[in-house]
Amino acid sequence: MDEKAFQDYYPDDLSYCYGCGRLNEDGLQIKSYWEGDESVCRYRPRSYHTAVPGYVYGGLIASLIDCHGTGTAAGAMYRAEGRAMDTEPAYRFLTASLHVDYLKPTPIDGELEIRARVKEIKGRKVIVTSSLYVQGVECARGEVVAVQVPTEFLEALRQRGDGSD
Amino acid sequence: MDEKAFQDYYPDDLSYCYGCGRLNEDGLQIKSYWEGDESVCRYRPRSYHTAVPGYVYGGLIASLIDCHGTGTAAGAMYRAEGRAMDTEPAYRFLTASLHVDYLKPTPIDGELEIRARVKEIKGRKVIVTSSLYVQGVECARGEVVAVQVPTEFLEALRQRGDGSD
C-alpha cells in the first residue's frame, strides 16, 4: 500500500487549500488513501467543530466530503491512465457541485471515516460518491462532481505565488 | 429593520455552532438579516480560507450556505407564524441535505454576499435557495433542506451543557 496520501503529491504551490493543503497551517490537512477500490480519509474533529452540543458541524462534513472527493478524483484519473501520482502532467480537480445528505446527527467524540468510490469518469469530469461513518454507523452521504483544472488555468494559478494571499 | 441577526436570538446553549454560533470563538460567527423577502449574510473570508491561490475554499462556501440556510429557515418559520424571534417556543433547524453548484472560482479578496429565499415551507421542513455573490457576480448557488429540531431532542441537547464538549 502506498504510504503517501493523494495530497502529499500535490505541488507545493497548490497545497494551501484549507481542506486538504498540507502547507495550510490553519486548515484541516486531510489525507486520502486507496484501500482497494475505495479511497479512505479519517479525521478527528476538533472540539470547536460542533453544531449542536455533542454533534459534528455539517459544514465540516461537507468540507471533508468535498476535499476527499476532489482528491479521489485526481487519484482515479492517474489510476485510469496507469501512472503514478508523482508523474507529469500534474492533475488537480475543482468541485463543480457538492451534495450532502445528513442521515443522522454525527457524534463529535469519535473518528470520522469517509469512504469514497468513483461513480463515473467522463472526459475531464469525475463523479465521486462518499459515505461518512462514525464507529461503523453511516451518518452522512455525499456526491462530488469534480472537474479537472485546465492546464493553462493551473499554470496561471501557480504563477500567482504560494496561495497564502 | 431589525438590527439583531437571526443568530442573536438563538439560546446561549445552542450558540456554539462552528458556522453561526455567536459564542464559538473559533467559528465563523455568521450573521443573517432580512432584506425584504430575501435574507442576507455578508462574510469576509480569512486569508487561510483559500482553495487554489486567489480563490475561496469551496467548503467555506458550503458552510456559509448551510448556516445561512438554517438561520433563514428559522426566521421564515417565525415569520410564517407572525411572531418575533425572541418569543417561545424557540425554533432551531438542522440540515437534512445541502447542495452547492460552484458556478465559477470565487475571488478571495472581496466580501461574500449570500442572498437566500424560502422556496417552500411544508410542516417541519423548509427549503431555502441561495446565491453567493462577489461584487455583484454570482459565483455559487445552493439549496438547503432544513428540518425543525423536535422539541424533545432540542431539550435533551440543551441539558447536555454548553456545547463546548
Q: Which helix (H) or strand (E) holds A76?
A: helix A58-80
Nearest CB neighbour to A57, from listed B19, B149, B157: B19
Query: Exposed, middle or buried, A124 (CB in 10 Å: 0-12/13-18/19+)?
Result: middle
CA distance B18 to chain A (A): 6
Q: d(Cα A6, Cα B159) in Å, to the nearest integer?
A: 42
Q: d(Cα A146, Cα A28) in Å, to the nearest integer?
A: 20
**Residue B138's pLDDT band (boundaries 50, 70, 90)?**
very high
What's residue A88's pLDDT? Answer: 84
Q: Verify whether the Cβ–Cβ distance B47 to A165 is below 8 Å.
A: yes
Q: Quote the pTM value.
A: 0.94
Is pLDDT at B1 greater than 60 in this prediction? Answer: no
pLDDT digits (tens, 9 = 90+) for A15-46: 999 999 999 999 999 999 999 999 999 999 99
Q: d(Cα A28, Cα A151) in Å, to the nearest integer?
A: 26
Nearest CB neighbour to B54, from listed A102, A109, A160: A160
* Whether A44 contacts B4, CB under 8 Å: no
Q: How far is CA A16 from CA A1, A74, A124, B50, B101, in A?
A: 26, 17, 23, 7, 22
Is pLDDT at A160 greater than 60 in this prediction? Answer: yes
What's residue A82's pLDDT? Answer: 94
ipTM of the complex: 0.93
Instruction: Tell me the pLDDT of chain A averaged across its residues.
Output: 92
User: In the predicted model, what is the mean pLDDT of residues A113-136?
Assistant: 97
Is pLDDT at B132 greater than 80 in this prediction? Answer: yes
Q: A7, A26, A52: which to substitute to probe chain B, counting the most B Cβ within 10 Å?
A: A52
pLDDT digits (tens, 9 = 90+) for A74-91: 999 999 999 999 888 888
Is pLDDT at B35 greater than 70 in this prediction? Answer: yes
Chain B residues closer than 8 Å to A64 by CB: 59
